[in-house]
Amino acid sequence: MKSSSSNTSNSQEPLISIGLPVFNGSNFLAEAIESVLNQTYKNFELIISDNASTDSTPEICEKFASEDGRIQYYRNEKNLGAGANYDRCFHLSSGEFFKWIAHDDIIEQKYL
C-alpha cells in the first residue's frame, strides 16, 4: 500500500486507513463515525467518500471533518455507483493497513 504518515506522536504505530463509502446514510452515519473516533488506537485516518447523497449525509460528514483532522471527507459531484465509490475510498487512503466500514457499522473501542 501507500507510504504512511503518522497522525499521532507515536510514529512507531502504523497508520490504519478506514474507508467509509456512503450514499444517503444519514440515519446511522454519526454513530458509525463516533465508533471510529472512540478507538483506543489513535493512528488512523477515516476516508469518507460520499456518493452524491441527497439527504443530510454531507452536513454530518462536514461537521465531523471540521472537528477531527483524521477525517477526510470527499463528495462526488454525481453518483459513481457503489463499486466505483468503494474504489475511490481505497485509492484516497494512505495507511499501511486498510479496513472498510459501512455507514451503519458500529465497531468496538479496541477493534483497531
* DSSP characters over 5-67: --SSS-TTSPPEEEEEEESS-TTTHHHHHHHHHT-S---EEEEEEE-S-SSSHHHHHHHHHHH
User: Is residue 23 in some structural domain?
Assistant: yes
User: Is residue 11 in some structural domain?
Assistant: no
- For 29, the domain range is 16-100
User: Is residue 65 in some structural domain?
Assistant: yes
10 Å CB burial of residue 95 (0-12, 13-18, 19+) is buried
Cα distance between residue 69 and residue 80, in whole Å: 26
User: Is residue 110 in some structural domain?
Assistant: no
pLDDT for res 12: 85
User: Is residue 106 in some structural domain?
Assistant: no
Cell of 47: 476516508
User: Is residue 48 in some structural domain?
Assistant: yes
What mean pLDDT do residues 82-95 have? 97
- Contact, 14 vs 93, CB < 8 A? no
pLDDT digits (tens, 9 = 90+) for 66-86: 999 999 999 999 999 999 999
pLDDT for res 63: 98
User: Is residue 8 in some structural domain?
Assistant: no
Band (10; pLDDT cuts 50, 70, 90): low
User: Is residue 59 in some structural domain?
Assistant: yes
Amino acid at 70: R
What mean pLDDT do residues 38-59 have? 98
- Contact, 93 vs 10, CB < 8 A? no
Higher pLDDT, 8 or 49: 49
CATH number at residue 34: 3.90.550.10
| 81: region left, alpha or beta (phi > 0 left; psi from -120 to 50 alpha) | left
Q: Does the pLDDT value for residue 17 go beyond 50?
A: yes
